[in-house]
Amino acid sequence: MKKFMLLLVVTLVSLQVASAQNQKWSDLSKEEKMMKAKAFREDNQKYLKNELKMTPTQLEDIDNVNVCYLSTLDRINRYAKTEEDKEKLAEFATAARSAQLDAIMGTEKRDKFMNYVAEKLKKSNIKLE
């Protein structure tokens, strides 16, 4: 279950990061999406470990926060009645996730990681339409 949720996290993130040439994410096969998600996660893990010097415990905690975040968004989507409620609750969940990641990584390292991911997104050639 934990591995499935991690792959789900990576898949969602890779929606924005996939690097096929001017392809739409929706046009990729499940296998292509999974391969891109795994590659994206591996790159992120290397960056967190080698550049930001995250410990194995910190890496595991980051994964746990992301799994919990996605589970929360899934429950919000399932049970909230209106789109307004869903958006409001998702904003609270996102703020809580941000606070947890800041506690684990520290604000400075988290900002560096966010910049790293933003650069990867800019280099992506996949359109998310």
Domain positions in the chain are 2-123
| CB 10 within 8 Å of CB 40 | yes
Question: What pTM value is reported for the model?
Answer: 0.72
Long-range contacts of 42-49 (CB under 8 A, 24+ apart): 43/120, 44/113, 44/116, 44/117, 47/113, 47/116, 48/113
pLDDT tens track of the chain, all 129 residues? 455 455 555 555 555 444 445 567 777 788 887 888 788 888 999 999 999 999 999 999 999 999 999 999 999 999 999 999 999 999 999 999 999 999 999 999 999 999 998 888 777 765 555
| CB 46 within 8 Å of CB 104 | no
